[in-house]
Structure formats: structure tokens, C-alpha cells
């Protein structure tokens, strides 16, 4: 199950999802706060951070990297 995250923060929502669904994988995160970005990179290395969701290239998903089963969002 692929999960995408907007306004991710420290990614608490995905941590909860992973407790329920063993097969959950974090497809991408999106947070442009420098502190949150460092935390996300530390805990989820290699996961794409789209940064500012108003500037993300949502139409450039040629390989299906943005296709998810669950889309979560925190409070910006």
C-alpha cells in the first residue's frame, strides 16, 4: 500500500498507518519547512520530498511515483 503525504511535518500520520498496515510504504512527502525536511530525511532516507505543494510538478509523474492508495495531509 503506497502512502503519499502532504504538509508532512515529522510524519506522524504515516507512523500510525504503518502500525495498522504492515505493507505500507511512504511514496513521497511534501514539506518545505527546513526543520521538518531534516527530520523527514533522517527517518525516511531516499523518500522524495516534493517541498512546497503549490510549486510541485503534479503532472510530471511519468513513472507513477505519485500514484498512491492513501493520501494524507497535516495542517500547514
What ranges do the domains of the chain cover? Answer: 2-54+68-73
Query: Higher pLDDT residue, 26 or 65?
Result: 26
Q: Residue 60 pLDDT more than 80?
A: no
71 phi and psi, to 5 degrees? -115, 120
Contact indicator for 76, 8 with CB cutoff of 8 Å? no
Question: Has residue 62 got a pLDDT over 90?
Answer: no
C-alpha 75/C-alpha 58 separation (Å) is 20
> Model-level pTM?
0.89
Q: What mean pLDDT is predicted for residues 37-53?
A: 95
- The CA distance from 66 to 29, in Å, is 10
Amino acid at each position: 500500500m503506497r502512502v503519499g503525504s502532504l504538509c508532512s511535518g515529522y510524519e506522524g500520520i504515516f507512523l500510525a498507518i504503518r502500525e495498522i498496515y504492515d505493507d505500507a510504504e511512504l511514496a513521497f512527502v511534501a514539506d518545505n519547512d527546513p526543520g521538518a525536511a531534516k527530520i523527514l530525511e533522517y527517518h525516511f532516507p531516499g523518500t522524495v520530498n516534493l517541498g512546497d505543494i503549490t510549486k510541485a510538478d503534479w503532472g510530471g509523474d511519468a513513472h507513477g511515483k505519485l500514484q498512491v492508495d492513501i493520501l494524507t495531509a497535516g495542517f500547514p
